[in-house]
Amino acid sequence: MSANGESPSDEGAADQFISGETEGGPTVEFYGGRGMSAFPIVFFILWAIVQTALWRIGDTGGLIVGILVGLILGMFFVRGNWQSYANTIFEGMTQPVAVTAIVAWIWAGMFAQLLQDGGFVGGLVWLADTAGVGAALFPAITFVLAAVFTTGIGTGYGSSVAFVGLFFPAGVLLGANPVLLFGAILSGAIFGDNLAPVSDTTIVSAVTQDADIGGVVASRFKYVIVAAVIAFVGYVVAGGMMGGLEIGAEAQEIFLESSEALGLVHVISMLAVIGAAVAGRHIVEAISWGIVIAIVFNLVFGLASLGEIVMFNAPEDAPLAPPFESLPILTIVEDPDAVGVTGSLMDGVAGFLELSILVLLIIGAAQIMIRGGAFEVLLEWSIENLATNVRNAELTMVGTAALINAIITINTAAEVAIGPYISKIGERFNLNGYRRANILDGQTAAMGYIFPWSGGVLAAYGAMQQLPGDYEWFEQSMVVTPIDVVPYVFQGWLLVAVFVVAALTGFGREYVTDRETEEVARV
């Protein structure tokens, strides 16, 4: 998820994510044993697969219904009082990891919408057209830029929201394949999520494995860059083989003619966010600076009016007196359905309300699985039956981390839950903290942006659903169904593959004795 933004050296900033421990909370007993506590989350995943893969419906509201039905049905398997079950749902929903994701989406949504309305997409189209960047190379270039941006700001969710809102329509208009382009954006988010020192997954993986953050980041670069180089080549090759959509020549020509270089002034807005994040500012503060600068640029350069940024649509019978009835952020409307608040800021927030509800419910269902014991049963079995030697131990770490992250779809929450078990397996074979943290975070970063029910995919898809309303030429048929992008998230699949190969061959393997104790101790 990568939405922290605190200074990596501040241990307190990391510890704020370690608040969902599996000990000390209520224990929920189920008919059929501990494994039945996984029923709500398994039911949701099956629902999501049927909805997205079989019926090809990428509707967030439908997924909300799926998790709600799973949670309700799960109550009927509870032994004794249902109160502990209900309390556990609330316990999960109030964990900081869930709120952190929501905050990142909302802030990033406002920022991306301001840049959209300020002509940044048009500036990108102008630049690509002027520089001769064709459809074939656009996905690969987008992957690199998304990777750099995410590494700078540390929030993969926020980056995917911004790039879908800005680079996706530009690439589609230029003729890039939309599914491949979507995969490139998610891949860039994975790269930065995995490598950024200010990423919350980086911090959590280091803290749970008793390793210092700087050493972890330095030691994991070799894994990330191998996957990234192959992924880049893959996007270049696939970009040349996969054609784009047929967009009306007239619409394309009109948009190209109206695109101008002035929109590129918002590159400064993006650099301001990166600079603030790299300087150790909280992600909310970093993106807030970007929002402020984007508003100033939109007003100063005439890219968007104050009314387009925020507009109060009041009913005609509103008791308004001068000078309030002539404010540039107020309109009087006759249609009662048009009454409300509109503009860039509101549009940026509104697109993520359903997703925020879904995330809270998923975290609640995951907490049921943890408190009910299914999570522990799975991991205990893998420790006892699979981790028989150091190679198998590392393969078990890769497999269990990937599986849990595929189930608990908010990556930081999954990492917090499985971190102690990764530590237990690694310590049994004397693997040092860097190696354990890298295996943990590699799977966490990858799996959070691959499957249709993953938090990163849902965040990006939520931003994409707003595009038909933002551009006249962008049709609903151009929206990519989440199930279609699964094979094209190259960085995710390759990162998992790199760690499988590393476990089999010993590439990068380090034991506690390979470094001085103080080097792998948490600072």
pLDDT in tens, 418-458: 999 999 999 999 999 999 999 999 999 999 999 999 989 99
Q: Which residues contact 497 (CB under 8 A, 6 or more apart)?
A: 227
Mean pLDDT of 173-196: 95
pLDDT in tens, 222-274: 999 999 999 999 999 999 999 888 776 666 676 677 788 999 999 999 999 99
Q: Tell me the C-alpha distance between 42 and 198, whole Å.
A: 32
pLDDT in tens, 351-382: 788 888 998 999 999 999 999 999 889 888 98
User: Does 100 or 243 have the greater pLDDT score?
Assistant: 243
According to DSSP, the residues that pair with 313 across neighbouring strands are: 331, 340
Give whole-number Cα distances, 378 to 109, 370, 383, 425, in Å. Answer: 37, 11, 9, 14
pLDDT in tens, 473-491: 898 989 999 999 999 999 9
Mean pLDDT of 90-94: 91
For residue 214, give both structure tokens: 């700087």
Per-residue confidence at 78, pLDDT binned at 50, 70, 90? very high
pLDDT in tens, 101-124: 788 888 989 999 999 999 999 999
Q: 154: alpha, beta or left, given left = phi > 0 and alpha = psi -120 to 50? A: left
Q: Tell me the C-alpha distance between 432 and 306, whole Å.
A: 55
Q: Tell me the C-alpha distance between 360 and 90, whole Å.
A: 9
Q: Which residues contact 439 (CB under 8 A, 6 or more apart)?
A: 394, 397, 398, 401, 422, 426, 499, 503
- pLDDT of 10 > 70? The answer is no
Mean pLDDT of 46-51: 94
Contact 485, 189 (CB under 8 A): no
Contact 157, 97 (CB under 8 A): no
**Choice among 50-64, 65-79, 252-266, 449-463 with the minimum mean pLDDT:** 252-266
With b for 16 or more beta-carbon neighbours within 10 A and e for fewer, the 96-123 pattern comes to bbbbbbbbbbbbbbbbbbbbbbbbbbbb
Q: What is the dihedral of CA 157, 158, 161, 163, to 10 degrees?
A: -110
For residue 79, give both structure tokens: 């032994």
Mean pLDDT of 4-11: 40
Secondary structure letter of residue 53 according to DSSP: I
For residue 505, which amino acid is it? T
> Residue 252: its pLDDT value, please?
66
Q: Which residue from 69, 68, 166 is spatially nearest to 117, judged by alpha carbons?
A: 166
Contact 400, 436 (CB under 8 A): no
> Residue 8: its pLDDT value, please?
39
Per-residue confidence at 62, pLDDT binned at 50, 70, 90? very high
> Residue 18: its pLDDT value, please?
37
